[in-house]
Amino acid sequence: MGSSDISRLLKCDHATIIYGNRKAKEQLGIMNPEYIQVINNWRAIFDENSMEVDDYTSIEGMIKNRISAILTDALHDGIVTEGELGDLLIDVLRKFAPEYVDEDAE
C-alpha cells in the first residue's frame, strides 16, 4: 500500500503521509522514549481490535458474521430452539462438509 492509497484512507494528501513516515523513522532512530511509548500504546489498541477488524473485512469473517446473525435472529424470533439449532447446524454440515459429521455419533 503506497502513500497515495494511505492518504485516501486518511483523507489527506500523500505529501502528509510521506512527511509523517519520515518523522516516525526519525523519532524511532533517535529512540525518543515518549514517541516509542505512544507507538506501543497504539499497537496495543490495534492488536486488541485486529481480530474484530479481520472478522469484518475477511471473506471468512464476513460469512461467519452473516451466519451468526441469521442464527441469532432465528433464536430471538422463536423460529428455532437451541436444541433445534444444533440439529440445523449438523444438517448444514452434512450438506456442505460431510467429512466433519460423524454419522456414528448420532
pLDDT in tens, 21-61: 899 899 989 989 999 889 888 888 777 666 666 666 677 87
The grid cell for 59 is 471473506
Write down the pLDDT at residue 52.
63
Higher-pLDDT residue of 101 and 52 is: 101
Indicate whether 106 pLDDT > 60. Answer: no
Distance from C-alpha of 24 to C-alpha of 42, rounded to nearest angstrom: 13
**Position 101, amino acid:** V
Write down the pLDDT at residue 13.
85
Contact call for residues 3 and 13 (beta carbons, < 8 A): no
